[in-house]
A and B are shown apart, each in its own frame.
Chain A
Amino acid sequence: SQTIHQWPATLVQPVGSPLSLECTVEGTSNPNLYWYRQAAGRGLQLLFYSVGIGQISSEVPQNLSASRPQDRQFILSSKKLLLSDSGFYLCAWSGQGALGSGRANEQFFGPGTRLTVL
């Protein structure tokens, strides 16, 4: 079965410090990978998605970057954190199948990382 891991679960960082959040998926190959952020009391916002190794698409301009060095590894980074980067960061994966194949395009979310920038 497939599983998705994120770490750390919680993180408190000072403004201006770097950030690296890691997400790995097991039990599947060539997944689509996604990074979302949820600010306090807000909905989820898609930050980045990737359809393959080294392929990153950015949805919104921001202080963050993403990389996919391996097929099942997705990393979210920042060189200098801002207060506004605080939030709940979620990684997700989906299969490559066509929508006609039922739940093949369902997105599976990881447990999330709660980041507080002080």
Chain B
Amino acid sequence: DAKTTQPPSMDCAEGRAANLPCNHSTISGNEYVYWYRQIHSQGPQYIIHGLKNNETNEMASLIITEDRKSSTLILPHATLRDTAVYYCIVRVASGAQKLVFGQGTRLTINP
């Protein structure tokens, strides 16, 4: 079972920041937060991950609350190509790193 809850869908205007929330209230101290996205008919693509500090890369920023019970993925300047299902996943490293995908958030970027 997925350990995260996300809104089923969100809309965002092209060029604006898209903020995708994720609740993971039962996260353990050694579990990381990962974000993947899946564009229609393609395999999921890694976006970013973090443990407790905020993280930023060329694709997005990840803001994790101090209590680690929730996080927000930020796409700073959304484009139409960012339309996808975004998955928030928590996991700990133990052998093979199994990803448990929930239903994710279907993000639609509108022109």
Interface residues of A (CB under 8 A from B): 32, 34, 36, 43-46, 49-51, 57, 59, 88, 90, 92, 94, 98-99, 103, 105-112, 114
Contacts and interface: CB of A to CB of B under 8 A. Distances in A.
B104 A43 contact: yes
B99 A112 contact: no
Contacts of B42: 109, 111-112
Interface string B49-70: 1000000000000000000000
Nearest to B98: A46
A49 B95 CA distance: 10
Decide if the interface of chain B is mainly helix, strand, loop or mixed.
loop
Given A109-B45, A111-B43, A49 B98 contact: yes
B73 to A, nearest CB: 16
Interface of B: 2, 32, 36, 38, 41-46, 49, 87, 92-93, 95-104
A7 to B, nearest CB: 14
Decide if the interface of chain A is mainly helix, strand, loop or mixed.
strand
Nearest to B100: A46
Given A43-B102, A44-B101, A99-B32, A34 B96 contact: yes
Given A99-B32, A106-B46, A43 B97 contact: no
Nearest to B85: A43
Nearest to A41: B103
Contact of A46 (B45, B87, B99): B99
Contact of A110 (B36, B43, B99, B102): B43
